[in-house]
Structure 1
Amino acid sequence: MYIKTLTVSEVSSYIKKIVDSDFILSNTLIKGEISNFKIHSSGHAYFSLKDDYGKINCIMFKSRTENLKFMPENGMSVVVKGKVSVYVKDGAYQIYCDEIKLEGLGELSEAFNKLKKRLESEGLFDSSHKKTIPKFPKKIGVITSPTGAAIRDIINVVKRRNKGVNITIYPALVQGVNAANDIIKGVNYFNKLEDIDVILISRGGGSIEELWSFNDEKLAYTIFHSKKPIVTAVGHETDFTIVDFVSDLRAPTPSAGAEILTFNLAEANEKIRNYKYTMDNYIKMYLQDKLNALDMYRKNLEHNSPMVLIANSYRYIDRMNEILNEKINNRIELEKQKLGKLNALLDAHNPLNILNRGYSIIEDENSNLITETKTLCNTKNIKITLKDGSSLFNIKHL
């Protein structure tokens, strides 16, 4: 029997013809949960439709997405109307969607909310149970996939910020049925190492089913009972898992988790230099102020010292002495002037000066002036004073 050899594209094309000719597959309704939903810049929508046992890739062209009455989101349970066909280039079948009708939240989202509510009621999310994250960890235990982008981001950030921080990696699955158990083993492993300061659980972004390992109940209890503080950095900023609520701190991304845990040595050194510069200036200003105050005290002490006071007192005494002598001399000179004026006045009125003009003074023996002839006749002895002297005379004898 002759068997024709087919190319890969011929096989895919043959399968496509079979699928496209099937009445049920060409016009069908399919129920499932949306995941990995995103709208391309072209306007086409790409997502997956899944249930507990399978997943089908879906595409909805722009002409159809414009008729949507709601914006599909991951976790929504929907009914898709369309056809199943084969994409020859990839040899994969997918659903070409014409309509999407909302049926309700998916089972995974419901399970997530149910577990979250129960663990929250048990107190696993309470802030009072959160352990303090060390500010300057020297050794970080990282639980993640050793081949993923997350570990590369973490290593780059840590080494850029502080080369003195060591990273110990525990290689673990971060998706799949065994991922939660792997992560639990990593947490227990790092709790036994005394030199590990903090644990970082991380992985990159993904759909809800890809991140489902981080919604494991046993993993949540393991993190809650960990003796060492745990930081989670799972997915993107908008992704939230159970471990994010129970951990001691959630970082929005793996890179952010590395930044939170790594003390920036360059910034610290720059701050230290700024503090040193500020402190040096402060000390210089402080010392200068103290020197100025000391100089002021020295000047005050010199100004108010006993020797200065004594010297100032001597100068004051000398000045007062000069002032006193000046005043005494002025007073003496003034009195001399007054005395001269009185002497001149006295000389002018001195009766003895009249004698120079030929006059004489007649007095009795008791030096009483005789100014009348009657008195002269009754006087026995008289004294006559002329300009060159006085003589006594007996009038009766004369």
Structure 2
Amino acid sequence: MYIKTLTVSDINRYIKKTLDNDFILGNCSVKGEVSNFKFHSSGHMYFSLKDKFSKINCIMFKSSVERLNFMPGDGMKVIVKGRISLYEKEGVYQLYCSEMKPEGMGELYLAFEKLKIELEKKGLFDISHKKKIPIYAKKIGVITSPTGAAVKDIINVTRRRNKKIELLIYPSLVQGTGASDNIIKGIEAFNSMEDVELIIIARGGGSIEELWCFNDEKLAEVVYSSKKPIITGVGHEIDYTIVDFVSDMRAPTPSAAAEIGVFSLEEYVQKILNYKNKLYNSVKNTVNDKKNRLAFVKKTLEVNNPLTYIANEYENIDKIKESLDFKMKVTINEKKEKLGKINALLSAHNPLNILNKGYCIIEDEQKNVISSIEELNKKYKVDITMKDGTSKVELIHYKK
């Protein structure tokens, strides 16, 4: 008989094809205990399922992980659905998981999911309805078991963060029959107190059965209708209940709820001191800035002071005066010199000077100069001007 020699890749590919084509292995449901659990940064989950005798490697891709409503962990018994195939590169077969649920809790989870969908449709989870958590609540109502670890954690956190905060503890059942009604009464009681600013509903971790009272529809509606903001700190980080979706804020643990609701007195005081320093520095800088601006304005005024300007102008006036005096003297001297020349010229041509030589000027009564005998013979009264004055003379004409 002829036997064909295959490569490793050939044989792995053949085994993978065989597994993929198997009807049962292509769509199977497997239950077992989770071990070697690893939640990769890529969003994929890697783990093994085991029982008393065997184990199988499993992988759940991110797209399937996002549909989970709980976080699996080592030791947890689960039921997974998926297909079995071969990882050719390593020659290892593994279970590729598409769904997962805790074993023995299927009915509760179905009820949880059903109620969650109904309330979400009614709008009880709407973010727009959620009330703002007060930053500086002075009085906080806490609904929890008076003997559980949750109340101790909340008290310890409150004492550490702010000893001045007043906590009102409403003792309530937090599991079992009547627990939901107890919690509702606590909410109603705190809503009737005007000075209570915030309500915390808290409980430590537990199984889904132990936390089931927090999945009550009536409780969810009361939480939704509460006039006071509510923080829920129920279970551990992986535990989600209906009231977590309805409340104004969900904390992963009771301690975290107290951390959120109770403001740190030390941080508050430090914030005030920071504001004080900031205000002081702001005022100081403003005053210094105003001082510098005032000094600048003062200096500007001093430079542009009218008195300084006037004093400077006195000097300019003196200079102008000196210049004017000089110009006037020069002008006067020039005019004097010119006038002297004109005077000398006038004196040289003055007709009166000729009188000093014995000549005279004869004028009629109308001050007309008589320059001929003919004109003189026609006049009877004349003025004769000589060097020492003028004399009026009457003429007597003789006939020849």
Q: Work out whether the TM-score is over 0.5.
A: yes
- Which residue is equivalent to 2:15? none
Q: Structure 1 residues 103, 274: CA separation in 2 closer, same or farther (over 3 Å shift)? A: closer
Report the AA paired with residue 67 of structure 1.
I
How far apart are residue 202 of structure 1 and its match? Answer: 0.7
How far apart are residue 61 of structure 1 and its match? Answer: 7.0
| Structure 2 contact 35–50 (Cα < 8 Å) conserved | no
Q: Compute the TM-score of the two structures, normalised by the length of structure 1.
A: 0.57
CA distance in 1, matches of 2:258, 2:157: 6
| 1:152-231 correspondence runs (5 A) | 152-231=152-231
- Which residue is equivalent to 2:117? 117
| Structure 1 contact 75–208 (Cα < 8 Å) conserved | no
> Could you report, residue by residue, the CA deviation over 1:74-102 in whole angstroms, capped at 9, with x for unpaired residues?
684589xxxxxxxxxxxxxxxxxxxxx99
Q: Helix, strand or coil for the counterpart of 1:298?
A: helix
Unaligned residue ranges in structure 1 (runs of 5+): 1-32, 42-58, 80-100, 336-398
Report the AA paired with residue 107 of structure 1.
E
Q: Structure 1 residues 149, 322: CA separation in 2 closer, same or farther (over 3 Å shift)? A: farther
| Structure 1 contact 75–109 (Cα < 8 Å) conserved | no
Report the AA paired with residue 171 of structure 2.
P
| 1:33-44 correspondence runs (5 A) | 39=35
| Structure 1 contact 75–108 (Cα < 8 Å) conserved | no
How far apart are residue 103 of structure 1 and its match? Answer: 9.3
- Which residue is equivalent to 1:285? 285
How far apart are residue 193 of structure 1 and its match? Answer: 2.0
Q: Structure 1 residues 77, 63: CA separation in 2 closer, same or farther (over 3 Å shift)? A: closer
Q: Does 1:148 align with 2:137?
A: no
> Could you report, residue by residue, the CA deviation over 1:89-145 in whole angstroms, capped at 9, with x for unpaired residues?
xxxxxxxxxxxx999671111110001111111121122322232222111110111
Greater Cα offset, 150-159 or 318-327: 318-327
1:67 aligned to 18, 42, 56, which one? 56
Q: Structure 1 residues 176, 40: CA separation in 2 closer, same or farther (over 3 Å shift)? A: farther
Q: Helix, strand or coil for the counterpart of 2:210?
A: coil
- Which residue is equivalent to 1:90? none
| 1:5-44 correspondence runs (5 A) | 39=35
Report the AA paired with residue 233 of structure 2.
A
How far apart are residue 237 of structure 1 and its match? Answer: 1.9
> Could you report, residue by residue, the CA deviation over 1:50-90 in whole angstroms, capped at 9, with x for unpaired residues?
xxxxxxxxx967874x43557894684589xxxxxxxxxxx
Task: Give the paired residue count.
Answer: 263
| Structure 2 contact 231–250 (Cα < 8 Å) conserved | yes
Q: Structure 1 residues 324, 230: CA separation in 2 closer, same or farther (over 3 Å shift)? A: same
Report the AA paired with residue 138 of structure 2.
K
CA distance in 2, matches of 1:208, 1:326: 118
Q: Structure 1 residues 68, 305: CA separation in 2 closer, same or farther (over 3 Å shift)? A: closer
> Could you report, residue by residue, the CA deviation over 1:352-372 in whole angstroms, capped at 9, with x for unpaired residues?
xxxxxxxxxxxxxxxxxxxxx
- Which residue is equivalent to 1:98? none
Q: Once the two structures are aligned, what percentage of the paired residues are identical?
A: 53
How far apart are residue 306 of structure 1 and its match? Answer: 2.3
How far apart are residue 316 of structure 1 and its match? Answer: 2.2
Q: Structure 1 residues 195, 40: CA separation in 2 closer, same or farther (over 3 Å shift)? A: farther
Q: Structure 1 residues 184, 314: CA separation in 2 closer, same or farther (over 3 Å shift)? A: same
CA distance in 2, matches of 1:276, 1:247: 36
CA distance in 1, matches of 2:326, 2:255: 97
Alignment RMSD = 3.6
Q: Helix, strand or coil for the counterpart of 2:146?
A: coil
Report the AA paired with residue 231 of structure 1.
I
| 1:241-260 correspondence runs (5 A) | 241-260=241-260
Q: Does 1:273 align with 2:273?
A: yes
| 1:97-112 correspondence runs (5 A) | 106-112=106-112
CA distance in 1, matches of 2:236, 2:267: 26
Report the AA paired with residue 122 of structure 1.
K
| Structure 1 contact 133–198 (Cα < 8 Å) conserved | yes
Report the AA paired with residue 280 of structure 2.
D
CA distance in 2, matches of 1:147, 1:213: 18
